Amino acid sequence: MHPAPSLILFTVLSGAGFGLLVWLGIGLRAPTGVAAFLVFGMGYALAGAGLLASAFHLGHPERALLAFTQWRSSWLSREAVLATATLAVMAPHAAGSVFAAAPMPVFGWLGAALALATVVATAMIYTQIRAVPRWHHWSTPPVFVLASLAAGALFVGRTGLALGLLLALAVAMIAHWVAGDRQFERAGSTMGSATGLGALGRVRLLEPPHSGQNYLLREMVHVIGRKHAYKLRLIALGFGALLPALLLVLPASYVGFGLALMSHLTGLLAQRWLFFAEAEHVVGLYYGKR
């Protein structure tokens, strides 16, 4: 799949934002006044920026309201509904914290649940897509959820929690890669099954339908070198989970948390880039791209 910057940014930033809101919602930190304004602001800003980035991905953002209608069947619609609901439900809690030093835990807990559900919905948008076998696996949501919660934990500066989540994220990322590398074969789609000609012999593409580019190739067929991918996996794992974890076991400091957060987000950008770039869509079979 084409690693679109808008989608990478969206999933990383909004994931971090909703993760932060989860922890703020359940009152893991309960700042008030300016401090509350800053941390809630950060959560809202990240979640909002992510949503905004995703809007850039749309051909017709002016019709975006329609995306709230299909929550019964569509994970993308659910995500939109949940994200908006999170921000709305969390608002009294946030406003109370900022302006009245009076957090409203009912809204907080409810908002946290919604925030978590939003991240799950985001992950499910990808997980549900059977045509991308690497995504279509139970390991996809844990990566999204753990990354989100870990970022949130780093924001709220809870060392133990963050450490645990980062290590869990490392395990989840590895699991996602290891399983993902086998997913295409497991899905069973081949040029033979795609064309129905497999029983006749070995199928290969002779000529693509058009000599030039097309939307499908640009959007869904992205070929990435194995070596390149391996390097990026190390970066994702190192910066996204292991390095921040290491920083956390060092004596606690704001600088340490800051660095851990920066590292985590950097690593996550690499992870997300790979998440798209390594994901092979079965349509590539029709173009001899595997």
Partner 1 sequence: MTTLPQSTRTKLGLVIDLDTCVGCHACVISCKGWNTENYGAPLSDMDAYGAEPEGTFLNRVHSFEVKRDTAPPMVVHFPKSCLHCDNAPCVTVCPTGASYKRAEDGIVLVNESACIGCGLCAWACPYGAREMDGVEKVMKKCTLCVDRIYNENLPEEDREPACVRTCPAGARHFGDLADPESAVSQLVAARGGMDLMPEQGTAPVNKYLPPRPRDTLTTPDLASLCDSAPEAATGFLGWLDRALERL
Partner 2 sequence: MQSQPALNLSPQVSDEVRKTTCYMCACRCGINVHMKDGKVAYIEGNRDHPVNRGVLCAKGSAGIMQHLSPARLRAPLKRVGPRGSGEFVEITWDEALQTAIDWLRPLRKTAPEKLAFFTGRDQSQSFTGWWAQAFGTPNWAAHGGFCSVNMAAAGIYTMGGSFWEFGQPDWERTKLLLLFGVAEDHDSNPIKMGLGKLKARGARVIGVNPIRSGYNAIADDWVGITPGTDGLFILSLVHELLKAGKVDLDYLIRYTNAPYLVDAGTGLFLRDADGKPLVRDRKTGQAVAWDSAGIAPDLAHGMERDGATHLPVFRHLADRYLAPEYAPESVAEKCGVTPAQIRVIAAEIARVAFEEEITLNQPWTDFRGLRHETMTGRPVAMHAMRGISAHSNGFQTCRALHLLQILIGSVETPGGFRFKPPYPKPPEAHPRPHARHATDKPLDGPHLGYPLGPEHLLIHEDGTPKRIDKAFSWEAPLSAHGLMHMVISNAHAGDPYEIDTLFLYMANMAWNSSMNTSQVMQMLTDQNEDGSYCIPRIIYADAYSSEMVAFADLILPDTTYLERHDCISLLDRPICEAEALADSIRWPVVAPDRDVRPFQSMLLDLGHRLGLPGMVQEDGTPTYRDYADYITHHERRPGIGPLAGFRGNGEGKGRGAPNPEQITRYIENGGFWIDHIPEDAHFFKPWNAAYQDWAVARGLYDKPQPYLFNLYLEPLRKFQRAAEGHGPLQPPDHLRTRLIESMDPLPRWYPPFSEPEADAFPLHALTQRPMAHYHSWGSQNAWLRQIHGHTPLYVSGDIWTEHGFTKGDWATLTSPHGRVTLPVVRMDALNPDTVWTWNAVAKRRGAWALDTNAPEATKSTLLNHLIHELLPAKGDGLRWANSDPITGQAAWYDLRVRIEKAPAGQSVSYPDPAPQHSPVPAPPRNLTHQKKP
Binding site for partner 2 (CB under 8 A): 69-70, 72, 206-207, 209-212
Chosen from partner 2, partner 1, none, partner binding at 132 (C-beta under 5 to 8 Å by type): partner 1
Chosen from partner 1, partner 2, none, partner binding at 200 (C-beta under 5 to 8 Å by type): partner 1
Q: Which residues, in sequence order, are CB contacts of 106 under 8 Å at separation 6+?
A: none
Which residue intervals of 64-158 are DSSP H helices?
A: 75-99, 105-127, 140-156
Structure tokens at 120: 């799950």
Give the residue with the Cβ less far from partner 2, 186 or 228.
228
DSSP 135-154: TSSTTHHHHHHHHHHHHHHH
Q: Please give the residue ranges that form the binding site for partner 1 (CB under 8 A).
A: 1, 57-61, 63-64, 66-67, 69-70, 72-77, 80, 125, 128-132, 187-189, 191, 193-197, 199-210, 212-216, 219-220, 281-283, 286-287
Structure tokens at 63: 């019709």
In the complex, what is the shortest distance from the CB of residue 19 to partner 1, in angstroms, rounded to a whole number?
23
157 phi and psi angles, rounded to 5 deg: 70, 35
Give the residue with the Cβ less far from partner 2, 105 or 208.
208
In the complex, what is the shortest distance from the CB of residue 202 to partner 2, in angstroms, rounded to a whole number?
10
Chosen from partner 2, partner 1, none, partner binding at 233 (C-beta under 5 to 8 Å by type): none
Chosen from partner 2, partner 1, none, partner binding at 45 (C-beta under 5 to 8 Å by type): none
In the complex, what is the shortest distance from the CB of residue 288 to partner 2, in angstroms, rounded to a whole number?
9
In the complex, what is the shortest distance from the CB of residue 283 to partner 1, in angstroms, rounded to a whole number?
4
Rounded CA-CA distance 144/272 in Å is 10
Rounded CA-CA distance 90/112 in Å is 8
Report the candidate in 10, 17, 37 with the shortest Cα–Cα distance to residue 87: 17
In the complex, what is the shortest distance from the CB of residue 73 to partner 2, in angstroms, rounded to a whole number?
9
Give the residue with the Cβ less far from partner 2, 160 or 227.
227
Give the residue with the Cβ less far from partner 1, 49 or 194.
194
Give the residue with the Cβ less far from partner 1, 159 or 193.
193
| Rounded-to-10 torsion of CA 124, 20, 88, 104 | 130
In the complex, what is the shortest distance from the CB of residue 94 to partner 1, in angstroms, rounded to a whole number?
27
Rounded CA-CA distance 124/144 in Å is 9
Give the residue with the Cβ less far from partner 1, 199 or 223.
199
Give the residue with the Cβ less far from partner 1, 64 or 255.
64
Burial category of 140 from C-beta neighbours within 10 Å (exposed 0-12, middle 13-18, buried 19 and up): buried
Report the candidate in 281, 272, 280, 240 with the shortest Cα–Cα distance to residue 8: 272
Rounded CA-CA distance 144/139 in Å is 9
Rounded CA-CA distance 240/144 in Å is 12
Chosen from partner 1, partner 2, none, partner binding at 160 (C-beta under 5 to 8 Å by type): none
In the complex, what is the shortest distance from the CB of residue 243 to partner 2, in angstroms, rounded to a whole number?
38
